[in-house]
Structure 1
């Protein structure tokens, strides 16, 4: 296919006809040389429309060069995603990709730690591994080998689904929660001892699913609204155009504080230097969930928060495991 063709109409036709792979020819197209198709989507409206239309129909880029890009339908990811074909990922009966460490230990776990992926350093990569960034890689050794660690991939959209419902998969959140419940039941662990950890879009998912499931969480500078990135950052997360059913503002305004609290540990982390500070602090304070505000001067922007507070997150994770007291009110941390 050529990039000049009507992407929305073609995506609909492809889905109806059961097309599984799309080869997009953009050889000679202006402003694409040396850039990934996803990266070019920031500057070119026609490229953006292609990406959004295809993702809305379940097609994701997996290969790109100067002359062409290739997309694969979600139900063929098992055939081409090397993380799966090499056995690094499993897939649930509902189609959620994940990895699980811990079941080989015979002792019953005390906790299940769930790690949700942030965006990688190169957010515009065409690699399918953009959906599976392994943050907090050493959390397993930090919390003890008798506790399970579940990592859930974030398949959907152009850069990820933020672990939320999408137009292509309205049941995405339910699929993810079903996996978390299944793993907790298999481990014999109460939902309150499921600790969902994430930063950035992973923290978006951590907040959403922990509050829905009555689980514990550590959410590092979650993205709770789309306005900043749409208006100030050229919609670099590709949230406009129909991929998502609702803006994050509307998703999170529905939480009213009427959720399970007893026996859970819930903490949010942010920084005054992050553009997410106001939405993060106001959301969690409204729900009476403590917010730890990191005042480290090396934090200059949103991506710095996760990097700088990594040690804090690991300390919280080990403190939960050890039963040590954690803050019950918002406070400044270093």
Structure 2
């Protein structure tokens, strides 16, 4: 995402993904971006704005939790020209039809659940995504989601690479 030091950072990342995939002869609709946590934030953003398929694990779409509960432990206050909430409200409410496949893995046991539900799932584009809620009892906090959902992430990445679509809306997984 753009930051106060580089207001074109996001565009440069998307351009780099396009440059590398083009150099390898891979069309944009065959690219799948993946990330968990902050990487999931990037995968969601670039999947939506760059037109790439994405497998996204418990993305941080709001810094509110870390700013309030952990006194800005991610050092986000004053770092970005827009809050994550503002960015995602803008990019997820465009009213367009997605061509790419976006799959979100999250957990109702994570503090990010509230933000994913409020910001992503309720958005115009978010209604076109597939959601996989892990109810795994080994998930007790946000960092546990990525580690405990590797099996689902690998399945979704493989499905994306083989151009298999899971057009479900929301599924609970363990």
* TM-score of the two chains, using structure 1 as the length reference: 0.49
Does 1:234 pair with 2:71? yes
The corresponding residue for 2:84 is 248
SS of 2:144's equivalent? helix
Give the 3 Å change call, closer, same or farther, for CA 185–259 of structure 1 in structure 2: farther
Distance 1:327 1:260, change over 3 A: closer
Cα distance in 1, alignment partners of residues 34 and 154 from structure 2? 10
**Partners of 2:161 and 2:44 in 1: CA distance:** 20
Separation in 1 of the partners of 2:155 and 2:29? 19
Q: In structure 1, the residue corresponding to 2:105 is in which secondary structure?
A: strand
Q: Distance in 2 between matches of 1:256 and 1:325?
A: 23
Other-structure match for 2:54: 217
Compare the two structures and name the one with the higher helix fraction: 2
Q: Does 1:166 align with 2:11?
A: no
| 2:132/2:173 contact within 8 Å kept | yes
* Larger radius of gyration between Structure 1 and Structure 2: 1
Compared CA separation, residues 308 and 226, structure 1 to 2 (3 A)? same
Count of aligned pairs? 169
Matches within 5 A, 1:123-202: 164-202=1-39
Q: TM-score, length-normalised on structure 2?
A: 0.91
Shift of 1:228: 0.6
User: Are the equivalent residues in 1 in contact too, given 2:130–2:166 (CA < 8 A)?
Assistant: no
Higher RCO, 1 vs 2 (CA within 8 Å, ≥6 residues apart): 2
Q: CA RMSD in A?
A: 1.5
Alpha-carbon distance between aligned partners in 1 of 2:20 and 2:69, rounded to the nearest angstrom? 39
Unaligned runs of 5+ in 1: 1-163
What is the aligned counterpart of 1:317 among 157, 170, 174? Answer: 157
Distance, in Å, in 2 between the alignment partners of 1:320 and 1:280 is 22
The answer to whether 1:267 aligns with 2:135 is no
Output one character per residue of 1:217-252: Cα deviation in whole Å (capped at 9) or x when no partner. 011000001111000011100011x22111111111
Shift, 1:327, TM fit: 4.3
Check if 1:330 corresponds to 2:170: yes
